[in-house]
Amino acid sequence: MNDHSCCEVDNGVHLMAGLPPWMFYFGVAAILVISFAFYFKKESDGGDWRLDLSRLAPVNYLLSRRWLQFAVQVPILLLFLVVLYAGFFGDQRINIAPVLTWTIWWGLLVFVILLLGKFWCFACPWDMVASITSRLRFWRVNREPLTSGLKWPRQARNITLAIGLFIALTWLELGYKVTTSPYATAMMGLIMLLMVVLPAFVFEKKSFCRYGCLVGRISGLYANMAPVEVRARDRQVCLDCKTKDCYVGNDRGYACPTGLNLGTLKENTYCTMCTECFKSCPSDNVALNIRPFASDILHYPKPRTDEAVLAVILLALTAFHGLTMTPLWEDLTGTSPSLIAWLNGVFGLGPLFSFTVGMIAILAVPFLLYQGLSWLSARIAGSGISPWRVLVAFAYSLIPIALFYHLAHNAMHVAMEGQAILPLLSDPFGYGWNLFGTAGQTYAALLGDQTVWATQVLLVLTGHVIGIKVAARAGDRLFGRGGRAIWAQTPLLFAMILFSFGSLWIMHLDMNMRTSLM
């Protein structure tokens, strides 16, 4: 207690030093070595094992209970209500809403996805409210839910809406500094709740979860790295099944909310792990598997354009997120030049406009670069493969790079700022309470800066290794092996090295630490 070991300030602006130079250069060298060592190494397909947890009696018992999801969602909903109350009615100077939302939830969410896949969707409080209001039951099955049951518009049956919402959220979050404002945080929570609840009255199943939910779609792509999956135990049983209960629902379970058919399910992207198929399957043919990390992303069955675009945008936005927290982007002390100050000087239209221009530019640069390199790759291959097809196939290799940069960035926030939750637990609304005796206290960071830096470099390297493996497989599928195919893949390998360098470079910059700013 009262120990300022690595971060001198509880609030306001202070700098956390970026990676020390030797660690940065070590990371750069390791990326180069790893790239060539792994990319040209022949891969064996071994190690594709599965461990079916649902064979264990207690797990099977829980998965087949209708109240399970409700029981998990209730405490999360209560926390969400605390955030809403604190944000709307708590003291606006300091309360628990921003820290709980942006440092704890948003910070840890990526770790949860990496370890537990789509568990957040299972526990989602917005989904709980949508389910109760439209199904009119807490957990039992209502075969006539309160919904118009319209089909999601055909033109919008992709994740463009989710991508748009993700970009909008980032703009609001960073442009309007929502992460430091209790009121704005609560407002965003309320908007998110309405965005989930209202479509449930209009569209069939959980169409918004499938097409529009930005959290669900981002976690969907990331969850392909997770060591957890819901799959058919025996796919042949599904193919022989005439009733398709998992898809249409029955008296024991709702239809899959995102319209998946267990027999054809091969990746985690759209599964919400709601466990309805465990209840509805008449053949007890559903497994909750533990599996090797990155199983789906290494064998991605059907690359899609919208998912590929999201992958590139994810990479660009996570990097942008990190960059905006450095004094290079905005120097609040006014002592050194920054991009925002420069854009202000060029346009003279105020910080928000400058921020928007900067965001568009930083989003566009990786996208255009990747597109250009895909074009070059297609030209070198010269086998009639279109540049866009190259981009779509290889974009999945950026997901591990984005995810592990995201983890590295959030690790810093959670380890350096996570302790800010302790005083706020005693005084969640800023009313001057001291429920647990922790109010007004300051606590040391959870980890020292050396540990955080080492963890960050290791995470970036891990993401790069997996990304390289994914790219190698995509290259094999698209171009084949040897000769010209190797040269054709080189520009995209170069792009991956560049993006991983970029991740390290951002982390080597000093960072403005603002409690709860993610």
Partner 1 sequence: MTRIRLLSLVILILPGVVQAHHIRGIPHYSSQDHYPETPVYEVDQVVDGYDVTFTYYEIPGQMALDLAMYIRDTLPEPTPYEGPVNFLVWGRHEDPDQTHPFTAYRNATNVYKVGWVYEDAGAYYVRIVFSDDQGEHRAVFDLSVGESSRTWTYLGGSVALVVMAAAATGIIRKKRRRSPGTSS
C-alpha distances (whole Å) from 276 to each of 2, 67, 147, 196 are 48, 11, 19, 19
Q: Of the candidates 127, 229, 296, 427, which one interacts with partner 1 according to CB under 8 A? A: 427
Q: Taking the complex as a whole, how short is the minimal distance between the CB of residue 434 and partner 1, in angstroms?
A: 4
Closest residue by Cα to residue 355 from 187, 516, 177: 177
Q: Which stretch binds partner 1 (CB under 8 A): 66-74, 262-270, 435-443, 485-493?
A: 435-443
Position among 53, 64, 74, 92 found at the interface with partner 1 (CB under 8 A): 92
Q: CB-wise, 343 or 465, nearer to partner 1?
A: 343
Site membership for partner 1, residue 138 (CB under 8 A): no
* Angstrom distance (rounded) from CA 40 to CA 33: 11
Return the residue of 133, 158, 160, 356 that touches partner 1, per CB under 8 A: 133
Under the binding rule (CB under 8 A), the answer on residue 289 touching partner 1 is no
The verdict on 435 binding partner 1 (CB under 8 A) reads yes
Integer Cα distance of 73 and 88 in angstroms: 22
Q: Does 357 bind partner 1 (CB under 8 A)?
A: no
Question: How far apart (Å, rounded) are the C-alpha atoms in residues 321 and 324?
Answer: 5
Q: Which is nearer to partner 1, 189 or 467 (CB)?
A: 189
336 binds partner 1 (CB under 8 A): no
Site for partner 1 contains 11 (CB under 8 A): yes
Instruction: Establish if 206 lies at the interface with partner 1 (CB under 8 A).
Output: no
The number of angstroms, rounded, from the C-alpha of 183 to the middle of its chain's C-alpha atoms is 24
**419-to-10, 92, 226, 277, 449 alpha-carbon distances in Å:** 10, 20, 27, 39, 14
Q: Of 88, 139, 388, 505, which one interacts with partner 1 (CB under 8 A)?
A: 88
Asked if 433 touches partner 1 (CB under 8 A), the answer is yes
Say how many C-beta atoms besides its own lie within 10 A of residue 463's C-beta.
Answer: 26
β partners of residue 287: 231
Q: Binding to partner 1 by residue 78, rule CB under 8 A?
A: no
Token digits of residue 9: 């300030």
State yes or no: residue 190 binds partner 1 (CB under 8 A): yes
**From 22, 44, 46, 148, residue interacting with partner 1 (rule: CB under 8 A):** 148
The nearer residue to partner 1, 61 or 436, going by C-beta atoms, is: 436
Residue 213's contacts (CB-CB under 8 Å, 6 or more residues apart) are 162, 165, 195, 196
Residue 322's identity, in one-letter code, is G
- Please give the structure tokens belonging to residue 275: 């466990």
State the Cα–Cα distance between residues 170 and 167, nearest whole angstrom: 5
Contact residues toward partner 1 (CB under 8 A) are 4, 8-14, 88-89, 91-94, 133-134, 144, 146-148, 176-177, 180-183, 187, 190, 193-194, 197-198, 201-202, 332-335, 341, 344, 350-352, 426-427, 430, 432-437, 439-440, 514
